[in-house]
Chains A and B, each alone.
Chain A
Amino acid sequence: VVDPAAVGYRGSAYAFPIERGKIRELALAAGSTNPGYLEADRPPVTPTFLKLAQFLWEPPSGSVIDRVGFDPLNTPLHAAQEFEFHHDLPRAGDELSVRSHVESIRDRPSRRFGTVTSVVITSEFTDRTGSVVATARTTSVAVPSPGDRR
């Protein structure tokens, strides 16, 4: 069950190396034929690439997702996603550091499910010099169990 007191919780910082093969793999999985991703020595990240940090590099213990407390048997839905790039895009070979926090948790009515809980998690990506190169904002929605839906 989502814990509203999780707002403001900050996870630990963790390393996120930007790898050429991973950029290629993700581009191919989205049907890309763009040589700028597939053939370049140091391709820039694809528009959604930074989301992979959470899935592949975030340490499992003490993660912001754990702290929010989504029901493991009732998968939350991904409602929205935004990335802001403050400088030139990160490229293969870059080493970033990521730190995430819980920005907001709000109940809201949903036509389809009744009442849902909208959770916004923000992640900041910094480079080796410590400057913030990108910010990602994920909006997830915890929905009622199948029997409790409208």
Chain B
Amino acid sequence: VSGSGEVPEPPRPSRFGPITLTDVVRYQGASGDLTAVHHDDAIARGNGYPGVFVPGLLSAGLLGDWLTGWLGVGTLRRFGVRFREQVWLGDVLECNGAVAQVVVVDGTTRIEVDLSCLRSGTVVTKGWATVVLP
């Protein structure tokens, strides 16, 4: 084991929203996932929901952007999310995270990060990542 293992300070939490239907349509068009419960209110109601809901992967994308804004875009080794709560139009999402563990092996710093995407303090999407710094 060698190296400094220095990790930059995390940035301030990011904020996204209030989420509009246009945000959802833009995300769905970009991803190619045209699942209708995310933009068609009648179909969402037919599926038993009060209305359209935001694709979980948009919250994952927000977490990923916050993470890579902090530790770099080319450094990822693992990125995972669990969707805990549905996200609705009008929600404001805040992303942040913290270092869970740092391991330095042969001059390479391997960082385990815990991530949270929150709506008014409630975690809607929980994330975890492994990043390697040269």
Which positions in A face B, CB cutoff 8 Å? 22, 25-32, 34, 36-37, 40, 43-44, 46-48, 51-52, 55-56, 73-75, 77-85, 88-89, 145-146, 149
Chain B, residues 1-45, CB within 8 Å of chain A (1/0): the string is 000000000000010100000010011011111111100000000
Q: Which residue of B lies closest to A44 (CB)?
A: B74
Number of interface residues of B (CB under 8 A): 42
A55–chain B nearest beta-carbon distance, Å: 3
Interface positions, chain B 29-84, Cβ under 8 Å from A, are: 29-37, 46-48, 55-58, 60-65, 67-69, 72-74, 76-83
Given contacts A26-B31, A36-B72, A55-B32, contact A85 B77 (CB under 8 A): yes
Given contacts A30-B58, A47-B60, A89-B76, contact A80 B83 (CB under 8 A): yes
Given contacts A30-B61, A47-B67, contact A83 B31 (CB under 8 A): no
A82–chain B nearest beta-carbon distance, Å: 4
Counting CB contacts under 8 A, is B129 at the interface? yes
Main secondary structure of the interface of A (DSSP, over half): mixed
Which positions in B face A, CB cutoff 8 Å? 14, 16, 23, 26-27, 29-37, 46-48, 55-58, 60-65, 67-69, 72-74, 76-83, 129
Contact of A88 among B56, B65, B74, B83 (CB under 8 A): B74
Q: Which residue of B lies closest to A35 (CB)?
A: B73
B116–chain A nearest beta-carbon distance, Å: 15
Instruction: Tell me, in angstroms, the Cα distance from A79 to B77 when the chains sit together.
Output: 21
